[in-house]
Amino acid sequence: MVFMKAREKMKIGIFQPNINNYPSIKSKLTKLEDILIQHDLDLLVLPELFLSFYLTKEQVSQYTKEDVQLFKQKVLQISEKFQCHLIYGYPEFANKERFNSVLVTGTQNDIIYNHRKTFLAPNAMEQSLFSKGKNFEIFKIHETLCSTLICYEFEFPEIVRKLARLGAQLILVPTALIEEFKFVSNEMLKTRAFENQIVMVYANYCGKSDSHDFCGNSAIVNEKGEDIFRLGSEEEFAMAEVNFESQV
């Protein structure tokens, strides 16, 4: 099924946290509310595994089903309160499995979409802790056709091309990109956007943990492969009004 594209503008924000800040669930939720009190947004994109932060297997494993459920409930309430869709990564529990997942909230205390990472990064933490997801889907935010990929997934051109052929105008990419692979954000992100004529939102961490050195460089890139904005190597928030009319 191919969707018809609609015309729309959206106010999209990215929060790029320092990996060493916000160690508790409460501190993360407080930061989200602070951002939304100050900024009128339609959409706020957060990094991969935002609930736990992208840390070691032992650190991510400390978060329980109850933690995940509490955070989800609070985020849904925040989305409804501020009428803003939140896109955040988290370790999902399903039966006896864990998934590296991303949740897309609605604005009526509801969930629009939940994506489970299908291509796990080739590192010990992800390979040993998470099971693989199975599919990709298109969903609507307002009238804009969207999809979500997690970090490593968008590096495969055939995946992004498949979503573009299904009508995606906007791909949201929570990520955890380290300094060694900075070219992925600086170069590959622009290529994927241009070759598929879609807008891409890429939300990363910054700072150095015990296990990873994150490069920042979160960005929104338009369908021409141009930066609408790009963050640096420090903790930062930025937003832009993105016009989808040129994609029609």
Catalytic sites, residue numbers: 48, 117, 151
CB 169 within 8 A of CB 244: yes
CA angle 212, 230, 18 (to 5 degrees): 35
Give the burial class of 101: count Cβ atoms within 10 A of its Cβ; 0-12 exposed, 13-18 middle, 19 or more buried: buried
Q: Output the six-digit token pair for 52.
A: 């736990």
Which residue is associated with the tokens 């933690």?
67
Phi, psi of 190 (to 5 degrees): -65, -40
The DSSP output letter for 122 is S
Q: Tokens in use for 33?
A: 């509310």
**Other CB atoms closer than 10 Å to residue 191's CB: what's the count?**
13
Token pair 């997801």 in the structure block, residue: 133
Residue 219's nearest CA partner among 207, 234, 232, 230 is 230
Strands 227-230 and 139-141: unpaired
Residue matched to tokens 């706020």 = 44
43: buried, middle or exposed (CB in 10 Å: 19+, 13-18, 0-12)? Answer: buried
